[in-house]
Amino acid sequence: MNHEPVVAIAGVTGAVGAEFIATMDRRAFPVRRLKALASARSAGKTIDFRGERIVIEELTEKSFEGVDIALFSAGAGISRKFSPAAVKAGAVVIDNSSAFRMDPNVPLVIPEINAGRIREHKGIIAVPNCSAITALVPLWPIHKANRITRVILSTYQAASGGGAAVMQDLVESTRAYLDGRPFAPKVIQHPYAFNLFSHNTAIDPETGYNDEETKVIKETRKIFEDDKIAIGVTCVRVPVLRAHCEAITFECEKPITEHEVRAILSKAPGVRIVDDRAKNYFPMPIDASGQDDVLVGRIRQDLSDASGHSISMFVSADQLLKGAALNAIQIAELLPQRAMA
C-alpha cells in the first residue's frame, strides 16, 4: 500500500461522504489524489479538498483504475454492484453499507476491538452498523475483563443514520409543525417532528424484529466471535439531527460492580465517561455530535438482577463519525501498517 494512496469516495455527495473528507483532513490522512464519485446527476459538480476543486465523476465500473483505497457509502446495492470492480482494479474497499458485513470472507472491523482482522481481507473490509459500533466500543473492554453473556439495548437513533435526505426531512417537517403548516413526509413514512417511531426498516413477520435490530444482533456475534451471546434490541428513530443514543443493560459471567465498569472504561480507547450524578449530566446527542469518542454515562447496578452480574448504562455517539466515516478512516490508517508487517 502506497504511503500516499489514491483514494476514491463512492457516494461523495452524501452525509457520510462529506464526513470522509472532513475526517481525512482533521486526521491528516495522506492522500496523493482524490477521486470523487457519485451518481450521474452529480457528475460535473465540484467539491473542495485541501485547497483544490475536485470535479465529481459518475461512478462506473471503470472508476477505480489506479485507486488504492475505495471508501464506499452509497448504499448496499451500489456496493454490491461496484465493489468487485474496485477490487479487480487493485483497490481495497472499505464499505459502510450492509452489503458484505455477514460475508464470512469479509472482515467486519471496529479498530478498537479487532484491528487484527484487517490483514485477513481479500479486497473488502466492512464497517459495522452504526448502532452496533455505538454499543460495542464500550462493551468490548468489559467483555474482555468479564465475559458478557446477555445484552438488552434500546436505541434512540438520529436522522443522520438515514442520510442527508432524512435529516432534511426532519428539518422541514419541524419548520412546518412550528409554523402550523401541513407537511407530507418525503423520505420517512411517519410524521417526524416531535415524534418517534420504530426504525424505518422492514419488519420480519416471524420474529417481529426489524432489519436494524437483526443487524445489531448478528454483527455483535461476529465481531465478538461469540455466537452464544444473548442479545435483545429495540431500535427507534427520534427527532434528533445527529448522534445516536442507546440504553444498554448487560449481564456478565461473574459479578461486576459499577466501580469496576468505570475503571475499565476510563482506560478504554474510543470511550469518554460523562457521568455526573450530582448535576444530572449524562451523554447527550448535542455533546456527542462532532466528537470521535463514544460518550458513556448513567453507569449503575441493574437493580432487577439481585445476583450482581448486571450493569445498566447510557451511551451516545456521532453516527456520521464513529458510526461511519471515522471508523472507515481508522481502518484505512491501519492498511499501510498491516501491508508492511
Which residues are known to be catalytic?
130, 244
* Binding-site residue positions for phosphate: 101
Q: Which amino acid is at 236?
A: V
Distance CA 142, CA 150 (A): 12
Query: Residue 157 has which C-alpha cell?
Result: 437513533
* Binding-site residue positions for substrate: 157, 237
223: closest CA among 83, 76, 99, 101?
Answer: 101
* Binding-site residue positions: 13-16, 41-42, 101, 157, 160-161, 237, 319
- Contact status, residue 173 vs residue 192, Cβ threshold 8 Å: yes
- 82-87 long-range contacts (CB < 8 A, ≥24 apart) are 82/10, 83/124, 85/61, 86/8, 86/10, 86/123, 87/122, 87/123, 87/124
* Binding-site residue positions for NADP(+): 13-16, 41-42, 160-161, 319
- Look at the block and give the residue holding cell 476510563: 266
Distance CA 253, CA 209 (A): 26
Cα–Cα–Cα angle for 146, 284, 270, nearest 5°? 45
DSSP string, 265-317: HHT-TTEEE--BTTTTB---HHHHTT-SSEEEEEEEE-TT-TTS-EEEEEEEE
